[in-house]
Copies of this chain bind each other. A is one copy, B any other.
Amino acid sequence: MNAVALARDIARPVMSPPYLIFLGDAPDIGWAKTGAGLAYWRREECLGQFRAGTATVDLGLPDLDPTAAVAAGARTLVIGMANDGGYIDDAWVPGIIDALTAGLDVAAGLHQRLADHPQIAAAAARAGRRLFDVRHPDRDFMPGTGEKRSGLRLLTVGVDCAVGKKFTALAIERELRARGVAADFCATGQTGIMIAGRGIAIDSVVADFISGAAEWLSPVAAVDHWHVIEGQGSLLHPAYAGVTLGLVHGSQPDALVICHEAGRTRLQGYERYSCASLRHALDVHLEAARLTNKEARGIGVSLNTSSYAEPKARALLAEATEETGLPACDPVRFGVGPIVDAMLATWH
């Protein structure tokens, strides 16, 4: 089966733009990852934000309620919040029902399905609107085979969750394409799927099939084609490392980019756990990656330096390079040029 056929195969019916981003009670951007990702990478499709409840986060979009959003042309309310456990918080339900009643479809990337929530399902049926649960795989997988596939693969890995793995992968895809190199972003989480219009929420597959799903996500491809795969979690995370390991093994990455947020010293939400050094975290992921691809190597560092002024940010990137021997970028602030330079110098 060729890569193009498979890439089409994993496209799924996705929600219709333009979007109204629901921010519910999200206190900050960390709780509004999905909304923030969509607002950044698909800005032209986001008409507004709906801050019902106590949300204090601001994506910089116009504030609209569902009725105003419908009048402006919006077609889908996207749940912009991501909580641990991925359930529908009771506090969100009135806002979701308002949106359905106003005439919007609703899309979510939660473990709990919108369609399984009785009040939401009933409101959707009354209003004749559609519910999209993009996190749920719409096909079955098999266990991984561990057999090497042609093509080049980059996987972003992390010291922790929520450190920029998706953003970094999207930025690398964009930079490769800008340089005329064939590249496809492979989404492994709900926000990535919403942005890309395809992918697999790798944390939602049955545990036995993590690596098999990852193998399927970046199929056989041309020898100079890059699959740029969105990483998940961290091998050093007490809750999510299993997902990460299956994704590392199944992805068979040639190149790893280690991602972190500068200044974060404890795992987010797991403060009893300290953050590993970039070097150690990269080494742990490299050792795992080499089980299925002996040639795996680190190719860059992605650092979120948004808490620091620019001179300090540049100093932090220089320190990261010193520590790892690899080019270090802040993709939001300075782009990923040096990482892509290294990829092309190494493999092209």
Contacts and interface: CB of A to CB of B under 8 A. Distances in A.
Interface of A: 84-86, 111, 142-147, 202-208, 210-212, 235-236, 238-247, 249, 270, 272-273, 288, 291-292
A337 B291 CA distance: 34
Contacts of A147: 272
A208 B240 contact: yes
A143 B203 CA distance: 11
B241 A143 contact: no
B239 A242 contact: no
Contact of A144 (B144, B238, B245): B238
Q: Which of A205, A211, A212, A235 has the most CB of B within 10 A?
A: A211
A44 to B, nearest CB: 31
A249 B208 CA distance: 16
Given A205-B207, A238-B292, 6 more contacts: A84-B142, A85-B142, A111-B206, A207-B210, A242-B249, A245-B245
Nearest to A86: B208
Contacts of A292: 238
A33 B245 CA distance: 26
A147 B273 CA distance: 10
A241 B235 CA distance: 12
A252 to B, nearest CB: 9
B204 A242 contact: no
Contacts of A86: 208
B249 A241 contact: yes
Nearest to A247: B242
B211 A238 contact: yes
B241 A291 contact: yes
A254 B41 CA distance: 46
A232 to B, nearest CB: 9
Contacts of A85: 142-143
Given A85-B142, A143-B84, A111 B208 contact: yes
A272 to B, nearest CB: 7
Contacts of A270: 145-146
Contact of A242 (B142, B145, B246): B246
Nearest to A144: B239
22 contacts: A85-B143, A111-B206, A144-B239, A146-B238, A147-B272, A203-B206, A203-B207, A203-B208, A206-B206, A206-B207, A207-B242, A207-B246, A210-B242, A238-B249, A238-B292, A241-B245, A241-B246, A241-B249, A242-B243, A242-B245, A242-B249, A244-B245
A239 B240 CA distance: 17
A110 to B, nearest CB: 11
A147 B211 CA distance: 27
A299 to B, nearest CB: 22
Contacts of A273: 146, 291
A236 B291 contact: yes
A78 to B, nearest CB: 20
Contacts of A236: 291
Given A111-B206, A206-B204, A206-B205, A211 B241 contact: yes
